[in-house]
């Protein structure tokens, strides 16, 4: 068994033990749903965030050469926080739970000029 396969099996086992989706499954869930994610911040505080990566809810990406783009760690999950209406991130290994939101709020949707 190669190291990538071992690493994948370890990740799946840890996710199963914690009762959370794997990082790749989490990304798919975020692209298709709104999730309430419970995680611990680096300072130990617990945080609950309603977030998504749905195209109809996150802002359009506009290239802005004046802003510096940071390198993101592979351990970090970047999401659109629907409450703060801002990009946020959390460390995957600090996630405690993720639940799909069943009822959406109207203000979560991004509308263009046509609709």
Can you give the pLDDT at residue 18?
84
* pLDDT tens sequence for the chain (115 residues): 777 777 778 778 878 888 899 999 999 999 999 999 999 999 999 999 999 999 999 998 776 655 555 566 788 999 999 999 999 999 999 999 999 999 999 999 987 655 4
Look up the pTM and report it.
0.81
Asked, for residue 114, whether it belongs to a domain, the answer is no
- Asked if residue 63 belongs to a domain, the reply is yes
User: How many CB atoms lie under 10 A from the CB of residue 95?
Assistant: 19
User: Is position 68 within any domain?
Assistant: yes
115 part of a folded domain: no
Q: Return d(Cα 49, Cα 81) in angstroms, integer.
A: 7
pLDDT score at 69 = 57
Does 19 fall in a domain?
yes
Tell me whether residue 113 is in a domain. Answer: no
Domain count for the chain, please give it.
1
For residue 24, the model assigns a pLDDT of 93
103 within domain boundaries? yes
Name every residue whose Cβ is closer than 8 Å to that of residue 30 and which is 6 or more positions away in sequence.
51, 52, 53, 54, 77, 79
């Amino acid at each position: 068994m190669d190291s990538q396969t071992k690493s994948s099996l370890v990740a799946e086992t840890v996710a199963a033990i914690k009762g959370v989706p794997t990082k790749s499954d989490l990304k798919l869930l975020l692209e298709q749903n709104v999730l309430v994610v419970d995680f611990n911040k680096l300072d130990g505080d617990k945080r609950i965030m309603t977030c998504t990566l749905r195209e109809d809810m996150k802002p359009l990406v506009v290239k802005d050469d004046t802003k510096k783009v940071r390198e993101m760690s592979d351990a970090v999950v970047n999401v659109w926080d629907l409450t703060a209406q801002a990009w946020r991130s959390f460390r995957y290994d600090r996630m405690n739970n993720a639940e799909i939101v069943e009822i959406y709020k109207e203000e979560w949707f991004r509308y263009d000029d046509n609709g």
